[in-house]
């Protein structure tokens, strides 16, 4: 596993403007060797598009009313995506399932920063890259039916043009996680069991590692990124931004699995693993929805769900690398914001009564548990 040192560089990735399409193409890959059916790029795109169909189909059946609206878009030089949104259905207030394929160029400065090169003498050319992903957030109406997020993605670099022999880099990332407003222990156990079963098919260390990674990830990002910032002007026309930590000390939900930068296993094995994870979304989620979608609820319970939706928005907009990677690589702002709920609420300094069901949820977000 890689270390997770993050080098932040403000730089522009070169990606063309997207154009709407009236039909879904067979592939968003470029018409060169990317399209070879044996390539990982080709098979990953096929996998995420099949997963999109399967998930959307299952959601429409379970919803029993809402239908997905589809937007297809592409870029002249290759790449594109399919955004699907079901809004104001019978069961879900908003359900988005997007796939995207992106070809881009890493700027040389970014490349140097990544390499940790200290000198400006090295001038490598731009690094072409390929990224593909599926990303989804499903927000039900009933406060007892949980929100689900999943995202699986594959990333590859090409050799720079001025160094054609350089090896390609590749990695897989993704995860599936559950965010209820109320805890039904059976539901959470079922959800985590399905994740564990998918993981155990490949490596017994995967579930414990990726479960913890999920807990840590949705915590760390608040601590390290939702920082409060001060401005400092040195009097020379330079504005300095800096930060100091401002924690919520809270996870977004009850976790699941999360992994990133995964490239230290066999590539075929990881492709199969990502496929298994994507195929586990429906068996992990729909049985919970079926049990909870029609439970009666009070105004108080609905208001608590709305407050938790507000927290979800906070997490997603302030720092959402994992959540919206697939959406963001698409670059369509409406696709990015599809992860937001239809409605949300913020009350100043809201604190649930100690011992209440609302407090139990918050406690489980603050102190993540082993569910299975």
For residues 195 to 234, the per-residue mask of contacts with its own copies, x marking binding by CB under 8 A and - elsewhere, is: ---------------------------------xxxxxxx
Establish if 96 lies at the interface with its own copies (CB under 8 A).
yes
- Locate 169 and state its tokens: 């880099």
Q: Respond yes or no: is residue 149 known to be catalytic.
A: yes
Establish if 293 lies at the interface with its own copies (CB under 8 A).
no
Judged by CB under 8 A, the stretch of 36-44, 174-182, 244-252, 357-365 that binds its own copies is 244-252
C-alpha to C-alpha distance for 127 and 8, rounded to whole angstroms: 17
C-alpha to C-alpha distance for 274 and 139, rounded to whole angstroms: 23
**Catalytic site residue from 149, 190, 192, 350:** 149
8 A C-beta contact, residue 149 and residue 217:
no
Judged by CB under 8 A, the stretch of 27-35, 51-59, 185-193, 255-263 that binds its own copies is 255-263
8 A C-beta contact, residue 43 and residue 84:
no
In the Cβ-directed half-sphere of 15, how many Cα atoms lie within 13 Å?
22
Return the number of the residue (293 or 328) whose C-beta is nearest its own copies. 328
C-alpha to C-alpha distance for 218 and 253, rounded to whole angstroms: 8
Q: Considering only residues 31 through 60, tell me which ones interact with its own copies, judged by CB under 8 A.
A: none
| Residue 196 beta carbon to its own copies: minimum distance, rounded to whole angstroms | 26
Establish if 300 lies at the interface with its own copies (CB under 8 A).
no
C-alpha to C-alpha distance for 361 and 144, rounded to whole angstroms: 12
- Locate 59 and state its tokens: 């959601």
| Residue 147 beta carbon to its own copies: minimum distance, rounded to whole angstroms | 14
8 A C-beta contact, residue 102 and residue 132:
yes
* Size (the chain), residues: 372
Q: Considering only residues 112 through 171, tell me which ones interact with its own copies, judged by CB under 8 A.
A: 113-116, 127, 129, 131, 155, 157, 169, 171
| Residue 79 beta carbon to its own copies: minimum distance, rounded to whole angstroms | 12
Residues assigned a catalytic role: 149
């Amino acid at each position: 596993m890689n270390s997770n040192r993050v080098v932040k560089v403000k730089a522009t990735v070169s990606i063309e403007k997207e154009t709407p399409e009236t039909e879904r193409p067979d592939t968003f890959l470029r018409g060169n060797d990317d399209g070879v059916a044996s390539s990982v790029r080709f098979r990953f795109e096929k996998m995420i598009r099949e997963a999109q169909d399967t998930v959307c189909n299952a959601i429409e059946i379970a919803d029993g009313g809402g239908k997905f609206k589809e937007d297809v878009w592409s870029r002249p030089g290759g790449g594109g995506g399919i955004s699907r949104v079901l809004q104001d259905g019978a069961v879900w207030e908003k359900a988005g399932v997007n796939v995207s394929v992106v070809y881009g160029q890493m700027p040389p400065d970014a490349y140097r920063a990544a390499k940790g090169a200290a000198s400006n003498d090295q001038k490598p050319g731009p690094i072409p890259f390929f990224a593909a992903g599926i990303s989804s957030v499903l927000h039900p109406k009933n406060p007892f039916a949980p929100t689900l997020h999943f995202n699986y993605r594959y990333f590859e670099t090409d050799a720079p043009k001025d160094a054609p022999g350089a090896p390609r880099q590749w990695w897989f990332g993704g995860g599936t996680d559950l965010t209820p407003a109320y805890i039904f222990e059976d539901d959470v156990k079922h959800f985590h069991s399905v994740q564990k079963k998918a993981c155990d098919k490949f490596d017994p260390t995967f579930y414990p590692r990726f479960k913890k990674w999920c807990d840590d990830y949705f915590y760390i990002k608040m601590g390290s990124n939702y920082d409060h910032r001060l401005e400092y002007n040195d009097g020379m026309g330079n504005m300095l931004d800096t930060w100091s930590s401002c924690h919520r000390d809270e996870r977004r939900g009850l976790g699941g699995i999360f992994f990133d930068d995964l490239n230290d296993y066999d590539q075929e094995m990881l492709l199969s693993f990502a496929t298994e994870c994507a195929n586990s979304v429906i068996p992990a989620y729909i049985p919970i929805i079926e049990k909870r979608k029609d439970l009666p609820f009070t105004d108080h319970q609905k208001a608590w769900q709305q407050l938790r939706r507000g927290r979800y928005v906070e997490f997603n907009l302030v720092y959402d690398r994992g959540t919206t990677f697939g959406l963001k690589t698409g670059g369509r702002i409406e696709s990015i914001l599809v992860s937001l709920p239809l409605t949300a609420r913020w009350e100043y300094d809201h604190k649930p009564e100690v011992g209440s069901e609302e407090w139990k949820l918050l406690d489980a977000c603050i102190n993540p548990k082993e569910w299975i």
